[in-house]
Structures are given as C-alpha cells and as structure tokens.
Amino acid sequence: MANNAYFELAKGGVTVESEVIAKIAGYVAAMSYGVVGMAYRSKSDSVASLLKKDNYTKGIKVSVNDDKISVDIHIIIEYGININVVGKSIIKNVKYQLGHMTGLDVEQVNVCVEGFRVQEQE
C-alpha cells in the first residue's frame, strides 16, 4: 500500500499511512452484522480465504487521489444474510468512520462479497 493521504494544517501537515486507513476500514467492516470476516484472494488462487483478525488489511485495497479516499473491501458473510443490506451498512459506516477519523473525503467504498459461510447444525 504505497499511496498515503496527506493534508495541510495551519502549522504543518499530516500524513496518514494507507495501512492505517485499511485497518480502520477492515475493523468497521468486520464489526458489521452478518460479516464473518475479511477475504483474501491471491493472484494464483481462485478461492477466497477467510483472514484472521490480525490480517484485516489484506482484504482491503486503499487508493488516495487528490485527498479523496477510495476503498475496496473484500468480505465473507454468513449464509442467509441479505447481501444488499450488509453492503449498504458497511459502505455507510466505513465512509463515516474514515471521514471522521482522518478528516478526508471518502469518495468511494466498494464491497466485494467473496463468499459465504454456512453454520453447521448441531
């Protein structure tokens, strides 16, 4: 993640690393109802893997252009959950939290559902 966000203040400037932006977005997405976890798909693998909590940034792609943030979030959801509702909730919450915590405009949040998990019956 090479592109970082930078903005000017009255007495200097602040650089926000793209990994910090990814951690915020990953945490907010992972805490959303119906989300099992973040997904990661390597270029050589066609199957998405469920990431552990300490690897949320691998399921996130951050782009910063003209002080505007764009984020791609790859998730795995629980089977039977309304994908549209989960996606809209994540988009709304990630935009709010990133804007609130960084002070930058969040231009776009894309949610990519990479798979779902079926809960086994006991």
| Nearest in space to 71 (alpha carbons), one of 83, 60, 56 | 60
pTM score? 0.80
| pLDDT for residue 112 is more than 90 | yes
pLDDT at 67: 75
Here the tokens at position 101 are: 């915590």
pLDDT at 33: 93
pLDDT at 58: 78
Cβ–Cβ < 8 Å for 40, 73: no
Provide mean pLDDT across the span 43-52. Answer: 50
| pLDDT tens digits for range 63-102 | 988 778 999 999 989 999 999 999 999 999 999 999 999 8
Contacts of 59 (CB under 8 A, 6+ apart): 26, 38, 39, 40, 51, 73, 74, 75
Here the tokens at position 97 are: 């939290």
pLDDT at 102: 86
Domains of the chain: 5-117 (3.30.70.1350)
Buried b (16+ CB within 10 A) or exposed e, 35-52: bbbbbbbeeeeeebbbbe
